[in-house]
Amino acid sequence: MNVQPKYKQIYDVLTGEIAEGMFAAGEKLPTECALAGRFGVTRQTVLKALDAMKHDGVITSERGRGTFVAVTQGRRSAGNDSERRIYFIASNLEDSFAHRVLIGVERASHRTGYSLVLCNTRNDPEREAESLRRARNTGAQGILLIPYLRRPNQALVRRVAAEMPLVFLDNALPGVDAPLVASDHYRSMYDAVSTLLEMGHRRIGFILTLLEYLEHPGSIRDRYRAYRQALVDGGVPFREEWVVELGQTLSDSRPRDVGLDLYGYPAMHRMMHCEEVPTAVVLLWDELAPGAMAAIRDGKKRVPEDFSLIGFNDDELCVYLSPKLSSVRQPAEEIGEKGFELLSGMIAAGKRASERTILSCRLMIRESVRSMQGENIEK
């Protein structure tokens, strides 16, 4: 048990991070409110810690501008190992897609002799910012970034990308001049919805995390746009009530913390109580499927007889569900490998790049879909 006063604990953590190079000399620290949220204390406690750091010459403050690392404090790490170090920063490494991307990154790094530093930011923009600063200020050679899109660190990422090689994986931030390696989210979802249309479905729903994400460029918006366009091209009217979100609480939760049988349950339950019920539903990702299937069973309905389901990612769980889940298979490991190869090439050439590498996906049809004529289709 730590018996030190809270302000002293904050003092120790922040001075330690400055000494390790997380914050460079002259760099602005997070705001007092942000620090209070990070450490779970009041603003007054943070102020007491900052006052002690000022007294010891670790930081300085400028009225109206903020608090800055003293020019005599922040430093960069030295040493040969930093010359071969790459940071892999992911918004959620516990996500099956990001984990498979990591497998590809690790395979490529092993071939070239680079060391990997893994940073799981857990959908926390402050953690992401800390990881980016640490990579920049401790002599890393480059960064592979799966960014957090909901509250993006756009200005910081732009500065970091201007200073060192950075490659986006899966999603890019607008206004940042850096290359991207990603799946073809638009074409993949378009093909999934088109397949359902060809099977005779005319009422097709879509379950996603938050409608708020549609305001940000990225994979979620691409999949939604493809869903809408496939309906248009198939001559099927769009119905707003057939697009159902998880909601704030579930979107901020990890599926394993909620339980897979509960994660997609409320959204599917709402879908089933629309005035006119869909016959097929596409899911933003596979982890929504167990909960959706549970809701369908509890409603005395069946997959695929009453509802056809298609997921996205083709996680391992797809073949263990009953019935087996149809899903879009993303080339996650290939994304990791190609991203690393692109980054290491940038490092070797000493040049920046801004190319976009978009990889094709594959629709895996299994037992969870059927034609409207009652014929089960399986590959």
| Rounded distance between C-alpha atoms, residue 331 and residue 337, angstroms | 10
pLDDT band per the 50, 70, 90 thresholds, residue 40: very high
> What pLDDT was estimated at residue 20?
72
Side chain identity, residue 180: L
Largest Cα–Cα distance of the chain, in whole Å? 78
Neighbours of 63 (CB within 10 A): 5
Average pLDDT over residues 300-308: 97
**Beta-strand (E) ranges in 106-212?**
115-120, 142-146, 166-169, 180-183, 204-208
Does 167 have pLDDT greater than 80?
yes
pLDDT tens digits, 15-32: 888 877 777 777 888 999
Pair 315, 340: CB distance under 8 Å: no
Structure tokens at 202: 């005319």
pLDDT tens digits, 106-118: 999 988 889 999 9
Of 81-95, 211-225, 237-251, 287-301, which one has max mean pLDDT? 287-301
Give domain 6-69's CATH number out of 3.10.20.30, 1.10.10.10, 1.20.1740.10, 1.20.1250.20: 1.10.10.10
Structure tokens at 84: 């071969």
pLDDT band per the 50, 70, 90 thresholds, residue 374: low
What per-residue string of b and e applies to 78-96 under the rule 16 or more CB within 10 Å gives b?
A: eeeeeeebbbbbbbbbebb
Considering the segment(s) 185-329 as one domain, its CATH architecture is 3-Layer(aba) Sandwich (3.40)
| Rounded distance between C-alpha atoms, residue 122 and residue 234, angstroms | 39
Q: Which of 61-65, 120-124, 316-320 has the lowest mean pLDDT?
A: 61-65
Compute the residue count for the chain: 379
Higher per-residue pLDDT: 62 or 310: 310
CATH class of 80-183+332-359: alpha beta
| Rounded distance between C-alpha atoms, residue 37 and residue 46, angstroms | 10
Does 337 have pLDDT greater than 90?
yes
Calculate the average pLDDT of the chain. Answer: 90
